[in-house]
Structure 1
Amino acid sequence: MSQNRCSKRKRNQVSYYEGVSDGEDSEVDSQDVMEYSAPKKRAPRPPRPLPKRKLFPFLELPAEIRNAIYGYCLVDASGIHLAATTKKYRRTVERTTDPSLDYSSVSDEGPEQLYPQTLVPSLLAVNKQIHQEGRDILYSNEFRLQDPLTMHSFLVDIGPRAATYLKHVTLVHWGPANRSMHKGYNHSSFAMLALATNLNKFRVEGTITWGNEGKQVARQMYRDGFPWLEAVGAAKGRLDAAVDVIELCEGNFSRNTSQASRTTHLEKNLGAFRAELRKLLHDRMEAVRAKPGRPQKKASEKA
């Protein structure tokens, strides 16, 4: 008996894999990279202001308490000692310790004497009212400047407006301290000091000139400091007003003198210093007021 076999029908092979070219693969990969790139970082939110219940009501305190706080933050009873320095190629000043401090007398229990008192002048930047209340307290300190370069850098830093608030400036050294290359700052520093016309005291602790005669000291003072001397006279309405502000150390006049005659010698030369400085200031004004072509009178003719 023969078996009937069904003939097999030829069918095309079905494939469920979709082949792609290498170029298409790279396009797909690049699309995937773009789709799954890292999300952008959000900008940080600005800090929220503190609620009013957490703010200290400083301006609501009595004026006496506010002034006491200003005193703790802005006043150094020993003076603010400054020296010239350079920071990032810019000339400026920095606080130093009192060079006259005797370190051998400082006890172990008081090491704070070796460091200047910490001040907080940034307090004045809080608002206008605090600035107005505290600026006179800050600038009422005695500013002890090491040399003319320090004075020039300090006045450049604080600017012309703050210079008008200065009350007491001490120039420790008339000449540059161990820096002869900066001797030219003697005149330029007084040109900057011309902005400080409200000084109550300008003290020079260093020796102004090698001569110990009052006239010699006055002429050197006028030669280097006439911009400030004349500016104070113009602001006060009196030519020689700056003479009353200047204080000099005894070392300018008492060299090569005995202890017995030192007091008399000092008083005599201080008087000669003030008289010569007043004369130089008045002579300058007479020269300015003189009519063109009119010869000035000599000192012998005036006498």
Structure 2
Amino acid sequence: MTSTFNDPELLASRYPKRKRVEVRYFSSDNGSDSDASTDSETECVPMNKRARTRTARSSKPLPKHKVFPFMSLPAELRNKIYEECLPDRTQNLTTEDRDNSAIWFCSKQKSYQRSVKQLISLEDQELDNMQWGRYYRPYRPTGRGRGQPNHEESEISDAEAAEKTPKRLGLNILAVCKAIYREAAPMLYSEHLVFADTGALMAFASHLSPMSARLLRHIEIRIWISTRSRKSMGFAAMAMLAAKGATNINRLHINCEIGRFWSYCWREKARQQKVPKRVARKVYRECYLWLEAVGMKKGDARAGSRCWS
């Protein structure tokens, strides 16, 4: 009996052993089996991820022989370069406004944020609609709203049209350095700036810095919004100019009507007032914050009233 149990060949024939793959129903933390000694014939060898070789960006400045010495150029040549980089004035104006060229702005909304955009060209029909406060109203076939200008087909090629198209408002050169900003910013903000309405002036003034606001010289407004929902837009625009410090304006031209006034009063005849007095009261009510800011800056309470035209 003892020899039978100790015989290995007999035990192997009675109790055959098969190599079975161990089944696991859970995955280990590191993604591989913790048991290093497996009985499987095929073992999974983990592949090492190849490390990505990223070329580090050199933080060294360019050598001096590759840097263009822009600031060493003569001042006249730098001013000529600034004129080429800054936007052109609005074109295609009426005959009476062609001599008085300016940069026109109108309101726009992008991503629920109000801003302004430059009007590259302005046709006679658009200017006529702007005079009557219909610039932003959509066109309707009933005849109401903004009239559509006539767009006649021309035989001008795309290349010629691109050459004749004025440059858009690009102010990237002002962000190069402070020295270029001090030289080029007065060339832009001292221009004759025309705003389609007080909403455009409000959006423009809200994006100004105090340094840029002090460079404004000539502002013109074509529509003084008087609707019920936006009646306070004119007051907000002038208050924003006062808050930004736009006190160096030489001329503020309100080239539109700011309301409808009558000299008589149907309630009491004693309260009848002349139209110029009513207009002056309306202007002061809308712009008194800016008038006071200009008076405090120049030390003269009537300094702001001399800028009106």
TM-score by length of 1: 0.65
Q: How do residues 1-303 of structure 1 correspond to structure 2 at under 5 angstroms?
A: 21-23=22-24, 30=32, 35-36=46-47, 38-39=49-50, 41=52, 45-46=56-57, 49-77=61-89, 78-99=101-122, 101=124, 111=161, 117-175=167-225, 180-194=228-242, 195-211=245-261, 213-247=275-309
Cα distance between partner residues in 1 of 2:102 and 2:48: 62
More displaced 10-residue stretch of structure 1: 207-216 or 20-29 = 20-29
Cα distance between partner residues in 2 of 1:202 and 1:153: 17
Taking only aligned residues, the RMSD between alpha carbons, in angstroms, comes to: 3.7
More displaced 10-residue stretch of structure 1: 43-52 or 126-135 = 43-52
Q: Is the 2:87–2:168 contact (alpha carbons within 8 Å) kept by the matching residues of 1?
A: no
Give the secondary-structure state (helix, strand or coil) at the position aligned to 1:84: strand
- Corresponding residue of 2:129: none
Task: Give 2:70's aligned amino acid.
Answer: F
Give the secondary-structure state (helix, strand or coil) at the position aligned to 1:83: strand
Post-superposition offset of 1:156: 0.8
CA offset digits 1:138-174 (Å, max 9, x no partner)? 2112221121221111111113332111111111112
Q: Is the 1:200–1:245 contact (alpha carbons within 8 Å) kept by the matching residues of 2?
A: yes
Cα distance between partner residues in 2 of 1:209 and 1:97: 29
Question: Structure 1 93/24 Cα, relative in aligned 2: closer, same or farther at 3 Å?
Answer: closer
* Larger helix percent: 1
Task: Give 1:171's aligned amino acid.
Answer: I
Tell me the matched-pair count: 236
Post-superposition offset of 1:238: 1.0
Cα distance between partner residues in 1 of 2:280 and 2:294: 17
Post-superposition offset of 1:243: 1.8
Task: Give 1:241's aligned amino acid.
Answer: A
Cα distance between partner residues in 2 of 1:223 and 1:154: 22
Post-superposition offset of 1:11: 6.9
TM-score by length of 2: 0.63
Q: Is the 2:219–2:252 contact (alpha carbons within 8 Å) kept by the matching residues of 1?
A: yes
Gaps of 5+ in 2: 1-6, 13-17, 34-42, 90-100, 126-148, 263-274
Question: Structure 1 225/99 Cα, relative in aligned 2: closer, same or farther at 3 Å?
Answer: farther
Task: Give 1:65's aligned amino acid.
Answer: L
Cα distance between partner residues in 2 of 1:29 and 1:196: 67
Task: Give 1:88's aligned amino acid.
Answer: S
Q: Is the 2:107–2:200 contact (alpha carbons within 8 Å) kept by the matching residues of 1?
A: yes
Give the secondary-structure state (helix, strand or coil) at the position aligned to 1:199: coil
Q: Is the 1:82–1:145 contact (alpha carbons within 8 Å) kept by the matching residues of 2?
A: yes
Gaps of 5+ in 1: 1-9, 248-303
